[in-house]
Amino acid sequence: MGEDPIRPGLEGVYSVLVGDEHVPAHLRGTNTEVVATPELVRFMERAAMEALREHLPPNQTSVGTEVSLKHMAGTPKGMRVEARARLILRDRRRCVFEVEIFDEEEKVAEGRNERFIVPLERSNEKLAGKIEKVRRRF
């Protein structure tokens, strides 16, 4: 059996042009149309997922379990941002990434994203129970 490719140093990148959908509703149409912090979290997670994407078998995925983000500078609509994730810790199914996010001018955010590798089709009785409760409401 070969060496596990999911080990510290693994990197992933996610890049996107900031559009209307990334700006908080209360800032749209103002002179401060900047990317929302929750969108930076989404970009962070996408970069970490990108790092894992080609190394996971088709029957597995990863789910986020913890996020820490420091939003240090605003990025205006129309500017490109790039999130860069680097795996710093792997403990069985647990993967911890350090992430930096840059726009065209500077670093705008940094943080960590913890993810767990899970089967796509997993028996999860607790979640199944919650889903059933929701279905009964409608």
Could you say which of 3.30.420.40, 3.40.50.300, 3.40.640.10, 3.10.129.10 is the CATH number of the domain covering 11-137? 3.10.129.10
Q: Is the predicted pLDDT of residue 30 greater than 90, yes or no?
A: no
**What is the strand order of the sheet 11-17 is part of?**
11-17, 80-91, 94-102, 107-119, 60-71
pLDDT at 130: 80
Give backbone dihedrals phi and psi of 17, rounded to 5 degrees, phi first.
Answer: -90, 125
Domain ranges of the chain: 11-137
* Average pLDDT over every residue of 71-83: 96
* Separation of alpha carbons 17 and 39, rounded Å: 12
Q: Is the predicted pLDDT of residue 32 greater than 90, yes or no?
A: no
Q: What is the mean pLDDT of the chain?
A: 91
- Tell me the per-residue pLDDT of 87-131, one tens digit each, with 9 for 90 and over: 999 999 999 999 999 999 999 999 999 999 998 876 667 777 788
pLDDT at 111: 98
* Average pLDDT over every residue of 56-83: 95
Pick from 89, 106, 105, 99: which is nearest to 50 by CA? 99
**pTM across the whole model:** 0.87
